[in-house]
Structure 1
């Protein structure tokens, strides 16, 4: 069952400024942050001392100074606050890999399956609040099974405690939220006012009311209004029910986690936007050199790079490339990006370019070749694989390794091109009989004429073309892997209460007899007959298939 933590930072802008500029926010004087707007300079955040003096966010600075003459003010730095909050969210990954910022003063963390590492959910939240307090950051935390419930607990249930948790389950969640004000459901201010006017001030009041009754109450409140007012009232009622369902887990509320920042990033900008493709390739080449130098200085090699090109009209073009092995070579970066650059339209020009090393790993120093040789063979192969993978798609570039199976189509498996080769992954013993260069997937049904039912083919028809067999070799008998079928029988028996032997014979794999058939003009075909004539443990007659070409 999912468990999430909502972390509320009620003093975030003030405390962020205090950490950045320790002397800017005195502890013994009221202090506020302000921002200009259409109605003059307004207060956006207050410290604890200012709040005690009655100063609130949203007040005009003039009114606040009239009431508190010793008030200290600083310009609000909302962009810096947002960037610092994102960095804090990344740091909070210690409590769960999926997390993101929540509004302007909060962070959510998915702690599913993590709490036991801290000694339980209560210990996890205690550790979180304590560590943030050590950084000089006031935090309130709520833990529940839904984002909405965790949000409500963190912001409305932490008056006396710094952390509150709701046990798992809808009933337990409702019990934890019942006494909280309806504001806790993340409703619009006008909706909260309307609910209070209807006597629904707490979440418990709202949850106890039948859904149809809530819609009727909203409609009656709007009965004297216009048609548009009634429609709006119904929409508000639906919004309330959605928020309630999200908080109680009746409706899923998807959350997008925060993407990890790049390992290294390089940026170039130009006063005159780049228009020509030649200039763009040249500048991206310089950017690749910058990133390569930074990677080498850090002892790293990139496994994936991402290029972002910011156009003068405000749009962004992206190109990325992956590498089979870590690299810190600028020519290789440019070679991988070059094909994608040719497909990018510069539009009104590109004035900023950013190249990120999205993922990287330690780059071990290695000798290439002695004398006048170029790159080592392994490096050349890796470079070729990178070019092919970025042009054809990574999933389309692979190598085959043997697998321990007699079934031809299961005797090989796909592996990453540079993955270590497993020497003993195939079957032990002698090598199998001759195999065709091409396997058909899946095998194609053919019609066959034989001298005797269980004999080799004399004639066959494939894709509406008839072939006469000059000579045939075989059969090579390949039996089904009975141990896999036995496992399936046990699964059926445990799931359905059936005897493992009572499987439909038509669903069983059948023994195959393979033949190599050669026509008069030298064409060779690999075909098999599936099943036996007159076998009691199979349904239907044996069938022929073409499986490969030599």
Structure 2
């Protein structure tokens, strides 16, 4: 059965303000004195939030500051900071990811979570609830936590239910998340609880309450709280393919301890990926510190992989520079992006060179934040256009051009002009003068004619005749003659050195 959690912070703006002042070592308002945060409205300053002491004097949110000071002259006040509240609430959502990867803010003072299949990792729902309340209280936040099978029920129980209460039948109609006018109308009709609404015929409710706004539509809210209408949870994190989580009884501080936990997480994630026939492409390791901070360690792969050892080797070096603070009390490994894994069985005398190269590329990429560069084949017979530098992960997915002749190991970006002597004009070279040094040629292979690409001519390009030659000292060159003897127009042919062979 689906289980969802709603956390409600009844004094969140005030407690957030006090916590921020204490972090700055600035004086905070005493708990025993009435205190309020004020905001500017259309008719002057109004109370945006009040503490327990102010509430005991009858002050409430929305009251005018002048009226509040008339009733409580000793009232302390500060400006409300709604943007800081939103940022702090989002930070709490990040912190709550130690309990579940599916966490969503419920502004202005709540958090929603999906915990299906998770409570047993923390000793059950009661222990999980107690742990949340205790740890949040340690950070200065008062929280009410409720578990329920629907978001609407969890929201209602957190704000209007008792400790551990599961039924919403006896809750007031305000727990339906309807506006004040609709709630007031229901109470005038004698419908004060959700149970009294559920017992009424559906058709009569539909005729009476059919508002355009979702907060006015009583029937829609009833369907949501009972699970008859789906209500999505818009988590701050995207959906993960695979997740592995570990929570510790005591904080882990040592590097060896973190590596041991990381190895177990990688192994668990790899097994889940193998079952699904997928491989990880993007990973995020989250480490939750005992002081409330959180560290994220990302990793990317150039090809899908479900090898636990490979995933561990990508993430382990990043733990060396990690600031563990006072210790890590939880770790989560999420596979944010996955792809179909290709399982290849290598022969007895065959090595998995392509796999090893991909893993090497992953390690280099995650350490230097750049991939290994390789040469990608381009559909061109002109040597200087036939290849281009590209990331290895892209080159691996590109088929090479069929029928390409062998090329030397080194090809110059720009061919260098040379002087050649041949026995006959169209014959192979016998002597090469290049870089002011004359070399005697003893072997020559060719010619290989390459015609210009007429569909993308660049200037006055002419046909080329390529030769592979070797001089009397065993040095090999790749040269070509640009132009043909006996042409009716154009300058005489020229010779160029285009590359060197081993």
The normalised TM-score by structure 1 is 0.45
Q: Which has the higher helix share?
A: 1
For the pair shown, the structure with the greater C-alpha radius of gyration is 2
The normalised TM-score by structure 2 is 0.49
Structure scoring higher RCO (CA < 8 A, sep ≥ 6) equals: 2
